[in-house]
Amino acid sequence: MNGHCLFAASPPRLFPLRSISSSVSPSGSYRIKFSDNVAVECRNLCFSVSTRQGISVPILRDCSFRIPSGQLWMILGPNGCGKSTLLKILAGVVNPSSGTVFVEKPKNFVFQNPDHQVVMPTVEADVAFGLGKYHDMNQEEVKSRVIKALEAVGMRDYMQRPIQTLSGGQKQRIAIAGALAEACKVLLLDELTTFLDESDQMGVIKAVKDLINAKKGDVTALWVTHRLEELKYADGAVYMENGRVVRHGDAATISDFIKAKQSSYIDQIGS
């Protein structure tokens, strides 16, 4: 469990950032390197888009948080608060307007809709797709990694199944297996349970949790959701509103914070 429980999000006073060496990558995104046990860290992260009229619309405002290695953290918040955008910035799919980002490598991003993530027609070929970039890997090693990844998500018996015959939850597990096969250190998971029923929802989240426990500190997962009941599986959480990180800390405290907000809102409606 993270040592610090709850922080008000008012960076840069929020937490001291040690051993930072920031640099700008050729793509323009900022990177920070840390020597301590941190898997993901953002500092003063901002992202905005321009409308056709040239007006700048802020999506993320001054977001800062830190996620220790080997834990499952969740990002929660209402629709449109910038959760998915934040995750895409962490994945490197979108470049931030300003601020600094550190994500341990290798990292992998799993999309909300598994139909977007799974690109090959059969399970085994899809899980192996991400390994295609490693030219020094032989067929046997690839196969071994694919089998291990599928075992980790409980889909070992589905190796030769066509993707279209799988349920939404099974596709989601295949998408996660594809990320695991690359032996990534950080898993960035975008609302994986949105299209799933309760059984598949719990199956997927337990698969991720079991994996993190099995890897003993090697794998960190950042899970975007707006389902409060999933928070019980998390070690920590980040709560966002209007593009800002409002709170971040251990799961129980964030859960209490959200419940207090809900009660306050219900009271407000009732009065």
Partner 1 sequence: ATVDGDGKTGNWVNRLPIPGLGAENVFRLISSATGSPIGQFISSPVTFLHSVDPRIKLVWLLTLVVLPARANLVVRLGLVLCTALLSILVLPRQVWIDQLARVSLLSGILFITLGLGSDGAPPMLQSRTPPSSITSLPNLPMSLSGYSYMLLKLGPLQFTRKGLSVGSTAACLTFIIFQSASICLATTTPEQLALALRWFLFPLTYIGVPVSEIILTLLLSLRFINLVFDEVRSVSLGIVSRRVNWQQLTVLETLDIFASFIRRIFKNIFRHAEQISQAMIVRGFRGESSSHKIYFFSGSSNKFADFASVLCLIGVISTALLSEYFLV
Residues annotated in a binding site for ATP: 77-84
Q: Are 249 and 256 in contact (CB under 8 A)?
A: no
Q: Is 178 in the site for partner 1 (CB under 8 A)?
A: yes
- Give the end-to-end CA distance of the chain in Å, rounded to a whole number: 39
Kindly provide the residue ranges of all beta strands, DSSP E only, lying in 82-160, ordered along the sequence.
98-103, 107-110
Using rule CB under 8 A, residue 124 touches partner 1: yes
Q: Pick from 12, 162, 199, 214: which binds partner 1 (CB under 8 A)?
A: 162
Coil, strand or helix: which one is 264?
helix
Size of the site for partner 1 (CB under 8 A): 37
Site map (CB under 8 A) of partner 1, residues 86-105, x = contact? -----xxx------------
Residue 133, Ramachandran bin (φ over 0: left; ψ between -120 and 50: alpha; else beta): alpha
By CB under 8 A, is residue 120 in contact with partner 1? yes
Contact 93, 253 (CB under 8 A): no
Query: d(Cα 261, Cα 66) in Å, to the nearest integer?
Result: 23
- Position 170 contacts partner 1 (CB under 8 A): no
Q: How far apart are CA 141 and CA 137, in angstroms?
A: 6
129 binds partner 1 per the rule CB under 8 A: yes
* Binding region: 77-84
Of residues 27 and 268, the one with the C-beta less far from partner 1: 27
Binding status of residue 47 toward partner 1 by CB under 8 A: no
Contact footprint for partner 1 (CB under 8 A): 91-93, 108-109, 111, 113, 115-122, 124-125, 128-133, 135, 139, 142-143, 146, 159-165, 178, 182
